[in-house]
Amino acid sequence: MREQLLVISFEDLSTNPYSTMGEVFEFLGLPAYENAEYKKYNPGSYDPVNDSMGSTLSDFFKPYNKMLEELLDKQFNWQ
């Protein structure tokens, strides 16, 4: 069942779309396809989270992030 699910991070897709999409095509059993350009549509910009809230959220999600990383055997480096 695990081999039927591919999880990719938005960070990987955003910073290296060619490699990430290659992984998606391979996972789906599709022939390799290289797009000339991956455009970013609707790029958002957000105000930074204040330190106190960032710390609270990080502490809350830390055990869940760890469980997810162990389940997927993949490191996300979330803070």
Tell me the domain boundaries of the chain: 2-35+52-72
How much of the chain exceeds pLDDT 70, in percent?
99
What pLDDT is recorded for position 59?
94
42: three-class secondary structure by DSSP: coil
Token reading at 49: 């989270």
Cβ neighbors of 12 (< 8 A, separation 6 or more) are 19, 20
Measure CA 60 to chain center.
Answer: 19
Q: Report pLDDT digits (tens) over 24-37.
A: 999 999 998 878 78
Average pLDDT, the chain: 88
Q: Is the pLDDT of residue 20 over 80?
A: yes
- State mean pLDDT over 61-79: 89
